[in-house]
């Protein structure tokens, strides 16, 4: 195996790339293109979160959207009920998600394979139901059930939200970099390859998994908060929609699970593909998504980056 | 000087008594052989010592501390490492990275220290020329040494080797025995489970014999080899 | 005794039987192949639609359509396993769940294109009819379905333990390599197993068609319920589907009667979540644990 880049060449490439992306809004006149760019970055962040947990450890989480939804609702409730400002609310959203992820992660991460997947899914659906039924059951006005919560109009344009998601996604990408050559990252990969061997080699498997799970939840919470403010109206069905999980999974799968570039490549490709298909083939969109998924699994199970790594022995970072 | 002691360790799986009240001691710098027919409970005993299953009964004392019920990673960090009968290297990672994980997590070292230690250990076991190859792509003897290297990199004082010579030809076995002596000479204490009699008889200072989960004999290789119960366990009773 | 309670219990049992019927196929597929079939609900949906169209075009009573929906779904399932899922069977299991999820999306949405969002129902002469006594209401259709569910599970058990193919399937699920050495064509067995699982699900779709709303997106809810039933009863353990179904049916029916309909859905997931954490091998403890 040979590495394409060392640490120095990585930064040499990465920093200009970040600056270039950061300057996009200043050079685009079309609001539509700006929105799509922001969307691509948003999904890089989302699939990155899934990659941190499931991509590296191989524990397939089917319920990551729950932390997104918790984040959306935290921001919505803080801003509407407590009159808080956006930035503190968004940060709080991340913290709340992380705090909930901890006690949920401890028992759930003891499960493996299909059981872990189903348990995480079950938890996500439970929270969706809670948001839907809580008010009605306890006679309070908190989540607003299926009426949804309407946030104050932000008065901000797409550029503002572009930079919000850019900041969070940048952090997520940096976490990926930190994982790739760190003790924590090796721990994650060891768990994926052979968890039993990892344990007897001294890896604190529970601690490592939990750290990944909570980190992922934290960023998902913030992204959820940002989206709530962006679209100004949230409902349980949307905020906790399994559709979002599906997209996170596909994008990471397409790009390559457990790789640095995987979410970036996968999310970019898939979001752009969706925009094209979505406008041209509205009705057939989901059928195409299904076909894409089947295609990826049959042809490129390691994703684009994963296949490149395996076949050509190339490591990008 | 006892470094590892098992006192009446038992392990039951439901109605099956896999290990029955086994006691033994391992002295510092000693190589203790553990033999017995297949299914005698040797691997289960190792798993109990190393924390994979807690023992149903009894105590496991590592350098003065009772470790029964501790988690495997804690026990590893306290200085006890094991190699597995069925090897599970981290397949997509290189030999270097496999060993690195032992140094980083088991040995609790910083990345820089861990890398240095990994190079040293790989050199010690003689795998330097394979260092950057994927661990799935090396030969069986090399993979056995990789298991050893990973265990050594954790900084373990005590090594439990579960059939680390399985699948080796006679020449490779001699090399493996050389390496074991080298490891012992560097200050480690080892328990060796093996089926290859000349190997385990040749290298062990003392032996214990298990059968059906219980210890049936203990002593030097000569004593054990002549023990009637041991002979019966392996060969069956003489037809009279 | 309180009529509300008895009615809730009866509803729960009847519901449980139905749940068991359409979860048996899911449990079979997981037990034998380790595949979590996320397109399971679509198989039920297709069975229901087969009955619906036969009813609409040929005026066939839904119970008469049983052989047709079973045959159609068997073929469909067999082909999917043979040409698609078998290709990933040697890869880590996660690939098969994602693959079946892709199949779920394609089938559900293709059906949506063909048949639109419209809700359909089958109304027969006995559709609304109940056996009514002692202040209780027992819909005939549900009762028939309940008994047929028991028959299905019994027949499946019989097939698996007494026939040649059934034994081959069980051998394969116990030890693939040994079965292969014994001359069993694993891929063929998998295809047949999936076909059988699909046929049972199709049958279940037909059985519920007289009393549920039929629409293309109905599948996902059934897949979710099948998960719950099978986790409760023990994954891969067939009789567990009955236990799981009944417990879930009772839990839902009792919470719906005494709390609210919305809570009963939340209860389903909560039960599922806690079962996985505390007792993944199922209530009776005979399920496979990953």
C290 → closest Cβ in A108, A114, A286: A114
Which among A119, A133, A253 has CB closest to C273? A119
Kindly list the residues from chain A whose CB atom is less than 8 angstroms away from the CB atom of residue B154: 201-202
Instruction: Say whether C36 and A122 touch across the interface (CB within 8 A).
Output: no
Write the DSSP string, A194-237: HHHHHHHTT--HHHHHHHHHHHHHHHHHHHHHHHHHHH-EE-HH
Residue C261 has pLDDT above 80, yes or no: no
Asked if the C-beta of A140 comes within 8 angstroms of chain B's C-beta atoms, the answer is no
Q: Which residue has the higher pLDDT, A162 or C150?
A: A162
Does A contact C via 3+ CB–CB distances below 8 Å?
yes
CA distance A254 to chain C (A): 12
Mean pLDDT of chain A: 87
Put simply, the answer to whether B106 touches A1 (Cβ < 8 Å) is no
Chains C and B physically touch (3 or more Cβ atom pairs below 8 Å): no
Quick one: pLDDT at residue A57? 93
Q: What residues does B80 pair with on adjacent strands?
A: B158
The mean pLDDT value for C215-243 works out to 81
Q: What was the pLDDT predicted at B183?
A: 93
3-state secondary structure of B186: coil
Q: What is the pLDDT of residue B159?
A: 94
Are A177 and A317 a contacting pair, CB within 8 Å?
A: yes
Q: How far is CA C233 from the centre of its chain?
A: 13
Q: State residue A68's pLDDT score.
A: 97
- On the question of pLDDT at C133 being above 80, the answer is no
Q: Bridge-partner residues for B161, per DSSP?
A: B83, B192
Question: In chain C, how many domains are there?
Answer: 1
Range of the domain at C160: 3-120+140-278
Residue from the list B51, B73, B102 with its beta carbon closest to the beta carbon of A204: B73
Q: Choose, out of A191, A202, A259, the residue to mutate when testing the contact with B (most B CBs < 10 Å).
A: A202
Widest distance between CA atoms in chain C: 61
Residues composing chain B: 240
Chain C environment of A266 (Cβ under 8 Å): none
CA distance A61 to A41: 22
Q: What tens digit of pLDDT does each residue of B75-134 get? A: 999 999 999 888 788 888 899 999 999 999 998 999 999 999 999 999 999 999 999 888
In a mutational test of the A interface, the residue from B83, B90, B103, B144 whose CB has the highest number of chain A CBs within 10 Å is B90
Which backbone phi and psi does A83 adopt, to 5 degrees?
Answer: 60, 25
Q: State how far the Cα of B169 lies from the Cα of B141, in Å rounded to an integer.
A: 9
Which residues in C lie closer than 8 A to residue A115 (C-beta atoms)?
A: 231, 276, 280, 289-290
Give the pLDDT confidence of B18-73 residue by residue, as tens digits: 898 999 999 999 999 998 888 888 889 999 999 998 999 899 999 889 998 899 99
Mean pLDDT of chain C: 82
The answer to whether B73 touches B105, Cβ cutoff 8 Å, is yes
Indicate the pLDDT class of residue C284, thresholds 50, 70 and 90.
Answer: low
Residue A189 to chain B, least CA–CA distance (Å):
8
The pLDDT assigned to A94 comes to 96
Q: Which of A55, A103, A114 to mutate to test the interface with C (most CBs of C within 10 A)?
A: A114
Contact of A110 with chain B, judged by CB distance below 8 Å, is answered with no
Within 10 angstroms of residue A33's Cβ, the number of other Cβ atoms is 13
Chain B positions touching A198 (Cβ under 8 A) are: 90, 101, 105
For chain B, say whether A178 makes contact (Cβ under 8 Å). Answer: no
Cβ(A67)–Cβ(A248) below 8 Å = no
- Which residues of B fall below an 8 Å CB-CB distance to A? 50-52, 71-73, 76-77, 81-82, 84, 88-94, 97, 100-102, 104-108, 111, 114, 132, 134, 150-151, 154
Which H or E element spans position B57? Answer: strand B57-62
- Number of C-beta neighbours around residue C131 at 10 A: 10
pLDDT value of position C9: 86
Does residue A2 register a pLDDT over 50? Answer: no
State residue C183's pLDDT score: 77
Q: Which of A86-100, B207-221, C115-129 has the lowest mean pLDDT?
A: C115-129
Domain with CATH 3.40.50.300 in chain B: 1-79+157-240
How many residue contacts between A and B have a Cβ separation below 8 Å? 86
CA atoms within 13 A on the CB side of B18: 18
CA-closest candidate to residue C253, choices C1, C5, C51, C31? C5
DSSP characters over chain C: --HHHHHHHHHHHHHHHHHHHHHHHHHHHHHHH----TTHHHHHHHHHHHHHHHHHHH---GGGGHHHHHHHHHHHHHHHHHHTGGGGTTS-HHHHHHHHHHHHHHHHHHHHHHH-S--B----TTTT-EEEETTEEEEHHHHHHHHHHHHHHHHHHHHHHHSHHHHHHHHHHH-HHHHHHTT--HHHHHHHHHHHHHHHHHHHHHHHTTTS-B-GGGHHHHHHHHHHHHHHH-TT-HHHHHHHHHHHHHHHHHHHHHT-HHHHHHHHHHHHHHHHHH-TT-TTS-S---
Q: What is the mean pLDDT of residues C151-159?
A: 83
**How far A253 CA lies from chain C's nearest CA (Å)?**
10
Q: Which domain holds residue A118?
A: 2-315
What is the per-residue pLDDT for A137?
A: 72
Q: In terms of pLDDT, which residue wins out, A261 or C92?
A: A261
The residue of A51, A109, A122 whose CB has the most chain C CBs within 10 angstroms, and thus the best one to mutate to test that interface, is A122
The CATH number given to whatever domain includes residue A157 is 1.10.3470
| Alpha carbons B59 and A252: distance in angstroms, whole number | 47
Average pLDDT over residues A195-218: 94
DSSP A282: G
pLDDT digits (tens, 9 = 90+) for C188-210: 888 988 999 999 999 989 888 88
Chain A nearest CA to C169, separation (Å) = 22
Say how far apart CA C153 and CA C169 lie, in whole Å: 16
pLDDT for residue B136: 86
For B136, the 3-state DSSP assignment is: helix
Chain B residues with beta carbon closer than 8 angstroms to that of A310: 92
Record the tokens describing residue B182, joined without a space.
Answer: 């080298």
Q: What is the mean pLDDT of residues C154-158?
A: 83
Lowest mean pLDDT among A233-237, B203-207, C57-61, C132-136: C132-136
Chains in contact with C, counting 3 or more C-beta pairs less than 8 Å apart as contact: A
pLDDT of residue A264: 93
Can you give the pLDDT at residue C286? Answer: 61
ipTM over 0.90: no
Distance CA A116, CA C244 (A): 19
Cβ distance A201 to B107 less than 8 Å, yes or no, reads no
Tell me the mean pLDDT in the region A20-26.
85
Lowest mean pLDDT among C59-73, C96-110, C116-130: C116-130
Distances (CA, A) of A317 to A5, A9, A56, A210, A307: 5, 9, 15, 25, 15
pLDDT band at residue A212, thresholds of 50, 70 and 90?
very high
Q: Using an 8 Å CB-CB cutoff, list residues of chain C that contact chain A.
A: 30, 36, 84, 87-88, 91-95, 97-99, 101-110, 113, 224, 227-228, 231, 235, 259-260, 262-263, 265-266, 269-270, 272-273, 276-277, 280, 289-290
| Confidence (pLDDT) at C290 | 45
CB A47 within 8 A of CB A251: yes
Query: Burial, C248: exposed, middle or buried (Cβ in 10 Å; 0-12, 13-18, 19+)?
Result: buried
Q: Cβ contact (<8 Å) for A201 and B102?
A: yes
Does C132 score more than 80 pLDDT?
no
Q: Tell whether C178 is covered by a domain.
A: yes
Residue C129 lies in a domain: no
Averaged confidence pLDDT in chain B: 89
User: How far is residue B111's CA from residue A262's CA, in Å, rounded to a whole number?
Assistant: 25
CA dist C173 and C30 (Å) reads 9
| Helices and strands, number each (H, E), in chain B | 9, 10
Q: What pLDDT does residue A314 have?
A: 59
The lowest-confidence range among A287-301, B21-35, B64-78, B192-206 is A287-301
Query: At A301, phi and psi to the nearest 5?
Result: -60, -20
By C-alpha distance, the chain C residue nearest A302 is C95
CA angle, C274 then A117 then C103, to 5°: 130
Question: Of B9, B20, B169, B143, whose CA–CA distance to B83 is shortest?
Answer: B143
Q: H or E element: which one contains B161? A: strand B158-162
Mutation target among C236, C276, C278, C290 for the A interface, most CBs of A within 10 A: C276
B159 has which bridge partners?
Answer: B81, B190
Q: Residue C61 class from Cβ within 10 Å (0-12 exposed, 13-18 middle, 19+ buried)?
A: middle
A111–C290 CB contact, under 8 Å? yes
φ/ψ of A155, rounded to 5, equals 70, 5
pLDDT tens digits for range A154-170 = 777 888 889 999 999 99
Q: Give the list of residues 6+ apart from residue C288 with CB closer than 8 angstroms, or none.
A: C30, C31, C234, C235, C236, C237, C281
User: What residue in A sits closest to C275 (Cα-Cα)?
Assistant: A119
Restricting to A residues 71-110, those with a Cβ less than 8 Å away from any Cβ of C are: 107-108, 110
pLDDT tier at B239, thresholds 50, 70, 90: low
Q: Taking residues A219-239, report their average pLDDT.
A: 93
Reading the block at residue C158, the tokens are 């019989």
What does DSSP assign to residue A51?
Answer: I
CB contact under 8 A, A202 and B97: no
Q: Please give the average per-residue pLDDT across A249-268, as a whole number.
A: 89
Band (pLDDT 50/70/90 cuts) for residue B238 is low
Here the CATH number for the domain that contains residue C94 is 1.10.3470
A194 touches chain C (CB under 8 A): no
Distance from CA of A268 to the nearest CA of B (A): 27
Across the interface, whether the CB atoms of A114 and C289 are under 8 A apart is answered no
Residues B130-172 have pLDDT tens digits of 998 888 888 989 999 999 999 999 999 999 999 888 888 999 9
Residue A317 has pLDDT above 60, yes or no: no
| List of chains touching A (3+ CB pairs within 8 A) | B, C
- How many Å lie between the alpha carbon of C204 and the closest alpha carbon of chain A? 23
What's the number of domains chain A is made of?
A: 1
Sign of CA dihedral C162, C165, C166, C170: positive
Q: Does A292 touch chain C (CB under 8 A)?
A: yes
The CATH superfamily label for domain B1-79+157-240 reads P-loop containing nucleotide triphosphate hydrolases (3.40.50.300)
pLDDT for the residue numbered C15: 84
Three-state DSSP class for residue A19: helix
Q: Is residue A133 within 8 angstroms of chain B, CB to CB?
A: no
Which candidate from C105, C224, C231 shows the least CB-CB separation from A289?
C105
Give exposure, A45-57, as e/b (b: 16+ Cβ within 10 Å): bbbbbbbbbbbbb
Per the CB < 8 A criterion, the answer to whether C244 and C84 are in contact is: no
Confidence of residue A148 (pLDDT cuts 50, 70, 90): confident
């Amino acid at each position: 195996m040979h590495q394409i880049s060392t640490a120095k060449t990585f930064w040499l490439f990465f920093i200009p790339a970040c600056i270039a992306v950061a300057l996009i809004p200043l050079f685009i006149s079309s609001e539509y293109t700006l929105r799509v760019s922001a969307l691509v970055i948003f999904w890089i962040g989302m699939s990155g979160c899934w990659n941190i947990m499931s991509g590296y450890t191989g524990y397939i989480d089917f319920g990551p959207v729950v932390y997104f939804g918790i984040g959306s609702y935290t921001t919505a409730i803080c801003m509407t009920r407590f009159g808080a400002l956006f930035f503190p609310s968004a940060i709080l959203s991340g913290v709340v998600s992380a705090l909930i992820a901890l006690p949920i992660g401890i028992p759930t991460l003891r499960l493996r394979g299909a059981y872990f997947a189903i348990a995480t899914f079950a938890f996500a659906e439970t929270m969706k139901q809670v948001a839907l039924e809580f008010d009605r059951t306890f006679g309070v006005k908190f989540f607003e059930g299926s009426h949804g919560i309407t946030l104050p109009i932000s008065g901000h344009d797409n550029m503002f939200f572009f930079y919000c998601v850019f900041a969070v996604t940048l952090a997520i990408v940096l976490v990926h970099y930190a994982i790739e050559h760190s003790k924590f990252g090796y721990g994650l990969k060891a768990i994926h390859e052979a968890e039993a061997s990892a344990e007897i080699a001294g890896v604190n498997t529970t601690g490592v998994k939990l750290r990944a799970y909570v980190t992922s939840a934290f960023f998902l919470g913030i992204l959820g908060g940002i989206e709530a403010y962006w679209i100004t109206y949230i409902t349980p069905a949307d905020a906790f929609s399994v559709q979002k999980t599906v997209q996170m999974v596909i994008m990471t799968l397409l790009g390559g699970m457990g790789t640095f570039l995987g979410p970036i490549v996968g999310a970019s490709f898939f979001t752009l593909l969706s925009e094209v298909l979505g406008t041209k083939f509205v009705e057939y969109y989901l059928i195409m998504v299904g076909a894409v998924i089947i295609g990826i699994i049959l042809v490129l199970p390691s994703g684009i980056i994963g296949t490149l790594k395996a076949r050509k022995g190339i490591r990008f970072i | 000087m006892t470094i590892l002691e098992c006192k009446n360790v038992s392990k039951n799986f439901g109605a099956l008594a896999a290990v029955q009240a086994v006691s033994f001691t391992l002295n510092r710098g000693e190589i203790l052989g553990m033999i017995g027919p297949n299914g005698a409970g040797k691997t289960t005993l190792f798993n109990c010592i190393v924390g994979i299953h807690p023992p149903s009964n009894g105590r496991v004392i590592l350098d003065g501390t009772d470790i029964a019920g501790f988690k495997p990673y804690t026990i590893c960090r306290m200085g006890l490492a094991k190699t597995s009968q069925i090897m599970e290297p981290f397949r997509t990672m290189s030999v270097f990275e496999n060993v690195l994980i032992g140094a980083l997590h088991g040995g609790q070292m910083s990345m820089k220290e861990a890398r240095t230690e990994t190079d040293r250990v790989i050199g010690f076991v003689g795998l330097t020329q394979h260092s950057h190859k994927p661990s799935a792509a090396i030969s069986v003897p090399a993979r056995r040494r990789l298991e050893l290297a990973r265990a050594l990199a954790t900084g373990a004082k005590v090594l439990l080797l579960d059939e680390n010579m399985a699948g080796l030809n006679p020449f490779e076995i001699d090399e493996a025995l050389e390496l074991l002596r080298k490891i012992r000479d560097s200050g480690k204490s080892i328990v060796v489970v093996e089926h290859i009699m000349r190997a385990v008889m040749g290298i062990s200072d003392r032996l214990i014999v298990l059968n059906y989960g219980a210890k049936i004999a203990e002593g030097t290789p000569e004593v054990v080899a002549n023990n009637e119960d041991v002979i019966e366990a392996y060969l069956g009773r003489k037809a009279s | 005794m309180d009529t509300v309670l008895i009615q809730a219990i009866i509803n729960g049992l009847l519901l449980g039987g139905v749940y068991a019927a359409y979860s048996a196929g899911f449990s079979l597929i997981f037990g034998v192949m380790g595949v979590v079939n996320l397109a399971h609900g679509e198989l039920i949906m297709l069975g229901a639609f087969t009955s619906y169209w036969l009813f609409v075009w040929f005026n066939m009573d839904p119970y008469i359509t049983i052989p047709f929906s079973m045959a159609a779904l068997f073929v469909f399932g067999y082909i999917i396993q043979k040409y698609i899922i078998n290709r990933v069977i040697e890869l880590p299991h996660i690939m098969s769940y994602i693959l079946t999820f892709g199949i779920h999306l394609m089938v559900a949405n293709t059906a949506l294109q063909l048949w639109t969002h419209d809700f359909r129902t089958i109304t027969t002469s006995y559709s609304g009819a109940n056996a009514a006594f002692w202040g209780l209401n027992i819909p005939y259709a549900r009762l028939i379905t309940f008994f047929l569910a028991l028959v299905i599970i019994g027949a499946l058990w019989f097939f698996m333990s007494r026939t040649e193919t059934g034994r081959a399937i069980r051998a394969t699920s116990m030890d693939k390599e040994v079965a292969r050495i014994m001359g069993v064509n694993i891929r063929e067995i998998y295809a047949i197993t999936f076909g059988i699982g699909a046929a049972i699900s199709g049958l279940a779709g037909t059985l519920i068609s007289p009393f549920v709303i039929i629409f293309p997106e109905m599948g996902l809810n059934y897949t979710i319920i099948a998960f719950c039933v099978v986790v409760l009863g023990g994954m891969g353990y067939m009789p567990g589907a009955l236990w799981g179904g009944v417990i879930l049916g009772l839990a839902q029916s009792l919470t719906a009667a005494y709390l609210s309909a919305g809570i009963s859905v939340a209860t389903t997931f909560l039960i599922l979540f806690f079962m996985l954490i505390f007792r993944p091998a199922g209530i009776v403890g005979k399920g496979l644990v990953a």
